[in-house]
Amino acid sequence: MISFTIPLCPRTKKNSQQLLKRGSKLRPAPSEAFLKYQEAAGWYIPLKHGKINKKLNIKCLFYMSIDYDNTKAIIDLNGLHQAIDDILVHYGVIEDDNCRIVAGHDGSRVLYDKKNPRTEIEITEVTGCST
């Protein structure tokens, strides 16, 4: 359905998260690094398709500049998925990131590419699945 690459080092929303006071409650807010990533990612996201509201699989290949197999670094794959899903909602590619639209992330992986960190995204419709 749609394939594209975000040629930036992948980011999660949780790293260096901020707490903002709204009324009497503290609410988590995305980090400054994530907000910059989201803004920069917008240049690479195809917007011509309109908001998709069908059941989808969003396969992401996250190429990190850190070799997580040979360091103590731990990569949060769920956090990376959450960030991409939220960015796709933010830019109007998908209507929402709930389970009625994002059925899965089958085929997603965290990989290593020191010189070319990026996220390769492939969005396909899921057929034969009840809602």
Q: pTM of this prediction? A: 0.85
Q: Residue 69 to residues 64, 76, 78, 127: CA-CA distances in angstroms?
A: 11, 13, 18, 35
Task: Delimit the domains of the chain by residue range.
Answer: 2-18+28-125
The pLDDT value recorded for residue 45 is: 94
CB-based contacts of 76: which residues, under 8 Å, 6+ apart?
12, 14
**pLDDT tens column, 97-130:** 999 999 999 999 999 999 999 999 999 999 875 5
Q: Which CATH superfamily is domain 2-18+28-125 in?
A: Holliday junction resolvase RusA (3.30.1330.70)
Hey, CA dihedral for 97, 98, 99, 101, is it positive or negative? negative
